[in-house]
Amino acid sequence: MRQVTTRQFQRLPASLPADARNRTERAARVSELVFRIDNVTKYKVGEYIKSPSKMIELFKYQLMIYPMGEDRDTLTIFLQRVPMDGVDPRFVYENVAFEISIMNHRDDQEAMTRGKVKGSFAADARVRGFEKDIIDQVLRSAYVDGDGGMVIKARVDLNNSRLSPAEEDEEGFWIEDIADFKKGEDMKFRPSWIGNYRTRVVVYPGGHPDHVDGQEGLAVYVHVLESKGTEMVAHPLKLKVTVVNHKMKVNSISWVGTFQPDGAGDDSWGPNRLMSVADLKDDSKGWLDSDGELLLMISVESADEGRDPLSFTKSSAKKRRISVKTDGV
C-alpha cells in the first residue's frame, strides 16, 4: 500500500506572525536545481547537455546547457519547461522568475549569477537565462575545476506566476531599463521562431531616429527571415504587436497589419509610432512593470488573401500571456 504523508498539506499555525507566515508561503513556491557537468571542454559548439528535471507545483523544468555555445563560443544556458502527463500542453506558466548561477569552486559566496529573468513557458518552451564569453570568463577561472567540471544552479520562483491558456503562435519580448533609452537607440533580439516564421525583432524604446524631437514614439519592427515548410511569397502575412499594460491587462494596446513578403529573406514590417515615448515612460500609465521593464507580445501568421496590406488597428487585449524576456546578458 502506498504510504501517504500529510505534512505538505498542513496549515500553518494560527499563532505564526503574519510576516513569518507570508515568508513561509512564498518559500513554498521556490525551487532550486543543482547540476554538475563533468567536463565542459569535451563539448563542441552546438552540442548541449540537459540536467535531470525537477518539479514545483505543476511546473516541471530542467537546464539545457551549451557548454561551448549554441552557435558561437559563449557558454549558453536555458531553463526549459518539461511536458507533463495530465497537464494540457496548451497551457502556459506566466511570469516565472528565475536566476541561474555558475558556482565558484574556491568560494561559494562568489557565484557568477545572471540576475532575475522573467519568462513564460509553454509545454516545452525554453528561455535563455545565461550567456558568457567562455575563454576569458569561464574556462580559465575558478568556475571550472581541475577536471573541467562545472556546477550550475537554477532558482525558480512561482510566487508571481500562474497557469493560463496560451495564445497560439505568440511570443513575448522583455526590454529592461526603458528609461535609459534615447532616441535612435535600439534593442535587437536574437533571431527566433514565432510560429512558423523565423524572425528578428528590433525595438526603438526611445523613438526612431526619424521621429521629430518631442514627438518620439515606440517603434517596433519584425524582420521575417525564413519560414517552415511554405514559401513566404505565396501568401500575405499578418503581424500583431501588443504592448502589455501591467496595471490593467484589458488596457493593453495592439497594432495589427498585413504585408506581402518579397521573398528576399529579410522582410521588415511593424508600427513606426505605436505609442508616445512620454506615455511609455510615465510610471502611472502601467506600461512598465515594477522593475521598469517593457513587455511586447508579437505574433506572425498567414493572413487572408485580399486583405489590405496597410491595415492598422489599435485594440484592447483582453488576456495576454507573459513570455520571454530579453536574451542578452
Res 311: pLDDT: 42
In the predicted structure, residue 322 carries a pLDDT above the cut 60: no
pLDDT tens-digit map of 110-138:
888 877 777 778 777 777 777 776 555 56
pLDDT tens-digit map of 226-282:
887 665 556 788 899 999 887 777 788 999 988 887 765 556 788 989 999 999 999
pLDDT tens-digit map of 276-319:
999 999 988 889 887 788 989 898 888 764 444 444 433 333 33
CA distances from 66 to 49, 50, 99, 143, 185 (A): 7, 9, 17, 16, 30
CA distance 243 to 277: 12
- The answer to whether 252 and 317 have CB atoms below 8 angstroms apart is yes
CB burial of residue 249 (10 Å; 0-12, 13-18, 19+): middle
Domains of the chain, each with CATH number or no CATH: 20-165 (2.60.210.10), 170-316 (2.60.210.10)
